[in-house]
């Protein structure tokens, strides 16, 4: 019996002890919680106070208080600074200084297709020519172009599309420095080539001062000086994009019946890849969403998209905007599907003069002997002789 009573009293005491431990734990937990809540309230009050101080100071002086580490207050001040610089924002909008951007092609083309409805510009607009270079690598005619552009800053823009598989970084002193646009791989004759041309146009359209857009390659050279080329293009009321109906297998023969009904055989055109477009035509090209997908799906070699897409598109959507001829001379007289590549021994004054004045065509409705402003294809070895005859070529006094 005694033993039983003893064991019961021991159990009771043990229970009491447990109870005491539990009470102690709950009590200390509550205290901790209270302290935490109090701490948070105090901290919040303190932050509000600091924030208020920052705002107060930023009204007094235009600069953010440098002793503040509060991110929120800095952000608020940055917003303020932006608003007070509205003029810079228009400048940045009409003529982006940095050609780098993170837009993808879809975003870029959409942005470039914007047209203002107020015709008068609220700023002094000097029309510029956008020289768009689509190259496979190094621009080996760089010294000739340098000579061509020198002294004409403000009248031209340069855009460089170099396939990313080639490495070419123009030196800091070059006119081509920092003129590379975000580029993608290009396959000759395929849709990726048209993508590159549209990418060049779209990037150039972002600058509202660009009025004329010329596509060039690394083998192209100018055959007149800047002033002559500038006035020829800026004063022309048509663009220079060649388009013609070629009944041969290398023309109509490349038409694919699956393009019907979007494109019929009577719409089908051929032309030189090397075009010049005014702003209106450039916008029509970047905003095409009707014909481009049909070409991409159904014009694959031996149908070369660069020879058919733009000529057909322009004939469909704005035939009056082009004079139907190109201003980039190419020699197709040799046989084969490639034009002649000129070498060092070919380059003489007489040869260049023949391209400059040996043709006749219409310009603004009148006959003209100046039909070509650029020529191709020139091998890197022609650079030295070209530099030698440049004074004559560009009409400098030697």
Ligand X SMILES: *[C@@H]1O[C@H](CO)[C@@H](O)[C@H](O)[C@H]1NC(C)=O
* Contacts with ligand X, residue ranges (CB under 6 A): 224-225, 227-228, 237-238, 243, 315, 319-320, 323-324, 364-365, 395-396
Cα 391 to its chain centre, rounded Å, is: 33
Q: 148 by DSSP, 3-state: which?
A: helix
Q: Which is nearer to ligand X, 68 or 228 (CB)?
A: 228
Question: Which of 124/320 has CB closer to ligand X?
Answer: 320
Distance CA 122, CA 218 (A): 37
Per-residue burial over 99-133, b = 16 or more CB atoms within 10 Å of its CB, e = otherwise: beeeeeeeebbeebbeeeeeeeeeeeeeebbbbbb
Tell me how far, at minimum, the Cβ of 179 lies from ligand X, in Å: 23
Beta-bridge partners for 362: 367
Strand partners of residue 244: 270
Exposure b/e, 158-179, CB count within 10 A at least 16 = b: bbbbbbeeeebebeeebbbeeb
Minimum CB separation of residue 235 from ligand X in Å reads 7
If the CB atoms of residues 121 and 396 are measured against ligand X, the closer one turns out to be 396
- The pair phi, psi for residue 223, each rounded to 5°, is -115, 5
Q: Give me the least distance between CB of 243 and ligand X, in Å please.
A: 5
CA distance 262 to 279: 25
Residue entry with tokens 């004559």: 392
In whole angstroms, the minimum distance from the beta carbon of 227 to ligand X comes to 5
Instruction: Please state the closest distance from residue 370 (CB atom) to ligand X, in A.
Output: 8
| Shortest Cβ 164–ligand X spacing (Å) | 36
Q: How near is the Cβ of 166 to ligand X at its closest, in Å?
A: 33
Q: Which is nearer to ligand X, 178 or 225 (CB)?
A: 225
State the pairing for strand pair 374-375/328-329. parallel
- For ligand X, the closer CB: 207 or 267: 267
Q: How is residue 366 written in tokens?
A: 């009148």
The smaller minimum CB distance to ligand X, of residues 300 and 370, is found at 370
Name the minimum Å distance from CB 389 to ligand X: 14
CA quadruple 390, 392, 397, 398: dihedral, nearest 10: 60
Tell the smallest beta-carbon distance from residue 96 to ligand X (Å). Answer: 30
d(CA 260, CA 291): 11
Q: Which is nearer to ligand X, 80 or 324 (CB)?
A: 324
Report, in Å, the least distance between residue 380 CB and ligand X.
Answer: 26
User: In what order do the strands lie in the sheet containing 210-216?
Assistant: 156-162, 128-135, 210-216, 276-278
Compare residues 105 and 267 and give the one whose CB is closer to ligand X. Answer: 267
DSSP assignment of 326-395 equals -SEE----SSSSSPPPB-GGG--HHHHHHHHHS--EEETTEEES---SEE--B-GGGHHHHHHHHHHHTT
Helix residue ranges, H only, the chain: 2-60, 71-83, 86-94, 105-112, 142-149, 191-205, 226-234, 279-286, 291-298, 305-317, 349-357, 383-393
Of 46 and 244, which CB lies nearer to ligand X in the complex structure? 244
Residue nearer to ligand X on the CB measure, 321 or 341: 321
């Amino acid at each position: 019996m005694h033993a039983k009573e003893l064991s019961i009293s021991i159990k009771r005491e043990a229970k009491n002890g447990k109870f005491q431990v539990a009470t102690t734990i709950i009590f200390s937990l509550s205290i901790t919680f209270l302290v935490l809540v109090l701490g948070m309230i105090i901290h919040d009050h303190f932050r509000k106070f600091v924030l208020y101080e920052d705002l107060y100071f930023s009204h007094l002086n235009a600069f953010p208080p440098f002793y503040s580490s509060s991110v929120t207050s800095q952000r608020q001040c940055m917003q303020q600074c932006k608003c007070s610089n509205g003029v810079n924002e228009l400048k940045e909008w009409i003529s982006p200084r940095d050609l780098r951007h993170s837009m993808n092609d879809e975003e870029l083309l959409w942005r470039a297709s914007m047209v203002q409805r107020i015709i008068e510009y609220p700023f002094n607009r000097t029309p510029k020519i956008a020289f768009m270079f689509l190259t496979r690598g190094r621009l080996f005619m760089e010294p000739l172009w340098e000579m061509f552009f020198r002294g004409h800053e403000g009248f031209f823009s340069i855009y460089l599309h170099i396939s990313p598989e080639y490495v070419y970084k123009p030196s800091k002193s070059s006119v081509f420095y920092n003129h590379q646009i975000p580029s993608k791989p290009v396959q000759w004759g395929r849709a990726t080539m048209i993508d590159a041309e549209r990418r060049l146009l779209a990037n150039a359209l972002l600058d509202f001062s660009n009025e004329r857009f010329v596509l060039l390659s690394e083998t192209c050279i100018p055959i007149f000086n800047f002033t002559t080329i500038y006035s020829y293009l800026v004063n022309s009321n048509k663009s220079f994009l060649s388009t013609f109906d070629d009944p041969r297998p290398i023309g109509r023969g490349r038409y694919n019946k699956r393009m019907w009904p979007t494109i019929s055989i009577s719409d089908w055109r051929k032309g030189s890849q090397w075009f010049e477009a005014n702003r209106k035509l450039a916008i029509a090209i970047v905003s095409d969403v009707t014909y481009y997908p049909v070409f991409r799906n159904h014009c694959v070699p031996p149908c070369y998209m660069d020879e058919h897409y733009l000529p057909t598109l322009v004939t469909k959507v704005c035939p009056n905007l082009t004079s139907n001829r190109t201003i980039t001379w190419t020699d197709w007289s040799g046989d084969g599907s490639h034009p002649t590549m000129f070498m060092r021994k070919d380059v003489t004054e007489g040869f260049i003069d023949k391209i400059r004045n040996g043709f006749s065509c219409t310009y603004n409705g009148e006959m003209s002997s100046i039909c070509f402003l650029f020529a191709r294809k020139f091998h890197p070895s022609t650079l030295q002789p070209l530099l030698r005859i440049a004074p004559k070529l560009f009409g400098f006094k030697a």
